[in-house]
Structure 1
Amino acid sequence: MSDTPATLEHSPLGRSATYPDQYDASLLFPLARAENRAALGLAEGDALPFTGEDEWHGYELSWLNARGKPVVAVGRFRLPADAPGLIESKSFKLYLNSFNQTRFASGEEVAATLERDLSAAVGGRVSVDLLTVDDDALTPRRLPGECIDELDVAISDYTPDPDHLGVEGGSAADADIVEETLHSHLLKSNCPVTGQPDWGSVMVRYRGPKLDREGLLRYLVGFRLQQGFHEHCVEQIFTDLVAKAAPEELLVLARYVRRGGLDISPWRATPGLRPPSPLRLARQ
């Protein structure tokens, strides 16, 4: 990671900003993951209990070719979960907009520049794909598995309570072992700086004692007043499910609605599991 102060008080988030039109890598503002992970009992330097990525799409990406003609693209960026840093989203937007009036010889040069700068900022290898705006990879799809949103449950608390999580029958020893995929579109959390709402969908794929679906839905709705970055919310869901339900295998994926021309879709999984890809929802 760079030596930029990794605290939110120094970030551009929540502040007025001048949008640059000439390439400037210094606009990227990395934040350390360690503080949020410490709140989950994950000490810095310890082996992580999950693998995963933060997948970003940048819909406001443009540059000039060698003759000055604009080129537009959608950027897909995959940031590794084991990198020590993540990118603060407003700084990412400012950085991408700095390409607008900058000439590049080719799309390959743009991709290489993005990969170099982002990898240096987070301290891990970031992969970059540049897609045309009508690329088939951007075609919306549905989340796999069963939607639990129609369960008729009473909810009165809107902060995530792990005690809502459990298995059918109350005991993992007595519960049936299943392999299933569940999802909900009722995820909402809030920016920890501006308080702006972040809307999303979440998928849980697991093998293990059968989850109590009503409890899972109550728990997920509990993020409604939670302040946290997308990446941290997914890691919290993953670690809480491991602690409360002890699945043999687990994958948690969230697809957040875009804000400011960016969407963020983190996933965390036990080693060996990966989400279906590509997977982009209609409201993204």
Structure 2
Amino acid sequence: MSREDWQNLPLGRETVYESSYNPELLHPIQRSISRAQLGLSVGALPFFGEDEWWGFELSWLNTRGKPQVAVARFSFPAESPCMVESKSFKLYLNSFNQSRFDSWQLVQDTLVRDLSAAVGMAVEVTLLEVEDISLDVQRPQGFCLDQLDIAVEQYQPDSTLLALEGSGVEVTETLYSHLLRSNCPVTGQPDWATVMVEYKGPMLQREALLAYIISFREHQDFHEHCVERIFCDLQNLADFSELTVCARYTRRGGLDINPLRSTRIEKPLPPRFARQ
């Protein structure tokens, strides 16, 4: 599938909502399409990570026809060959609504099987009782770039905006911004996120990093690929001994997407923020 074929995805077509379980609704997208533009090849990724999705609109019927409702956490490995197109994911979850399942475990097992088959690698799924869920909403840790007073003229990603302080000082710090906005490559709808850059190495010029983040404002791409572009552009700028880029996107249609890419094999996602 090429970028041109994205116009034929379910996201860009009139919606027909099915309420009977149908795994055929899932539409995978090859990650290699956008990664090729970053010079990344299969099996030679410069990062580890995951795409953490949360689903807040999952329901099905028990064997007696009584509706069940749950909140689901999905973890897709960054190294999986494919990701799932978001609208097809919503339609797939909606198809559980009038379908009967013997147990919560069967629903979870079904989600694991279908999603793992779609992306080509094992996917983790956790179902949570609505009464039991406790979302850890916190203020981001680190320095907020948004307080910097800068002039902005570029609204398409431009890695030449990035710069180092040039002092030769090695730092360990976390910088973040609430100003990341990109747009769906199919519908053009805006996607909003808080993005965090945690690194160890030569000091980034903060004003330059903020201008770079803002430059995504008119860019059309999927959440996961935006985070990978930011990671790769930073990695090409300097030899950081550690680098993590994570974006927590605001919820749409009952789903939020939170990609994380890091040089560390095991790097937990940060807490949720107020906009989520």
Per the shorter chain, which TM-score range?
over 0.9
TM-score normalised to structure 1 length? 0.93
Give, as a single letter, the amino acid of the residue that structure 1 aligns with 2:204: L
Q: Deviations over 1:152-185 (max 9, x none)?
A: 111111111111112112xxxx421111111110
Residue 111 (structure 1) aligns with: 108
How much has 1:9 moved relative to structure 2? Answer: 3.7
* 2:6 paired residue among 5, 8, 19: 8
Using the alignment, how far apart are the partners of 1:271 and 1:181 within structure 2? 15
Which residues in structure 2 correspond to 1:44-123 (within 5 Å)? 45-123=42-120
Using the alignment, how far apart are the partners of 1:21 and 1:272 within structure 2? 39
How much has 1:13 moved relative to structure 2? Answer: 1.0
Greater CA deviation, 69-78 or 86-95?
69-78
How much has 1:248 moved relative to structure 2? Answer: 1.0
- Is 2:136 aligned against 1:139? yes
State the identity %. 58
Which residues in structure 2 correspond to 1:96-245 (within 5 Å)? 96-169=93-166, 174-245=167-238
Using the alignment, how far apart are the partners of 1:97 and 1:76 within structure 2? 16
Which residues in structure 2 correspond to 1:16-35 (within 5 Å)? 16-35=14-33
- Please list every run of at least 4 consecutive aligned residues from structure 1 whose deviation after the TM superposition is greater than 4 angstroms: none
Give, as a single letter, the amino acid of the residue that structure 2 aligns with 1:74: V
Using the alignment, how far apart are the partners of 1:217 and 1:201 within structure 2? 12
TM-score normalised to structure 2 length? 0.95
> Is the Cα–Cα contact under 8 Å of residues 53 and 73 in structure 2 kept in the other structure?
yes
Specify every segment of 5 or more residues in structure 1 that has no aligned partner in the other structure, as ranges. Answer: none
Residue 37 (structure 1) aligns with: 35
Q: How many residues align?
A: 274
Structure 1 pair 224–135 and aligned structure 2 pair: CA distance change class (3 A): farther
* 2:261 paired residue among 243, 268, 275: 268
How much has 1:229 moved relative to structure 2? Answer: 0.2
Q: Deviations over 1:2-37 (max 9, x none)?
A: x9xx94243211111210111000000001011100
* 1:246 paired residue among 239, 245, 253: 239
Structure 1 pair 151–135 and aligned structure 2 pair: CA distance change class (3 A): farther
> Is the Cα–Cα contact under 8 Å of residues 140 and 280 in structure 1 kept in the other structure?
yes
How much has 1:135 moved relative to structure 2? Answer: 3.6
> Is the Cα–Cα contact under 8 Å of residues 251 and 273 in structure 1 kept in the other structure?
no
Using the alignment, how far apart are the partners of 2:21 and 2:190 within structure 1? 30
Using the alignment, how far apart are the partners of 1:47 and 1:271 within structure 2? 15
Give, as a single letter, the amino acid of the residue that structure 1 aligns with 2:171: V
> Is the Cα–Cα contact under 8 Å of residues 115 and 128 in structure 1 kept in the other structure?
yes
Using the alignment, how far apart are the partners of 1:273 and 1:240 within structure 2? 22
Give, as a single letter, the amino acid of the residue that structure 2 aligns with 1:130: L
How much has 1:273 moved relative to structure 2? Answer: 4.7
* CA RMSD after TM alignment: 1.6
Give, as a single letter, the amino acid of the residue that structure 2 aligns with 1:121: A
How much has 1:136 moved relative to structure 2? Answer: 4.3
Give, as a single letter, the amino acid of the residue that structure 2 aligns with 1:97: N
Specify every segment of 5 or more residues in structure 2 that has no aligned partner in the other structure, as ranges. Answer: none
> Is the Cα–Cα contact under 8 Å of residues 53 and 81 in structure 1 kept in the other structure?
yes
Give, as a single letter, the amino acid of the residue that structure 1 aligns with 2:272: R
Using the alignment, how far apart are the partners of 2:220 and 2:91 within structure 1? 23
Using the alignment, how far apart are the partners of 1:198 and 1:31 within structure 2? 18
> Is the Cα–Cα contact under 8 Å of residues 49 and 265 in structure 2 kept in the other structure?
no
Structure 1 pair 21–89 and aligned structure 2 pair: CA distance change class (3 A): same
* 1:280 paired residue among 267, 272, 275: 272
> Is the Cα–Cα contact under 8 Å of residues 143 and 174 in structure 2 kept in the other structure?
yes
Partner SS state of residue 224, structure 1: coil
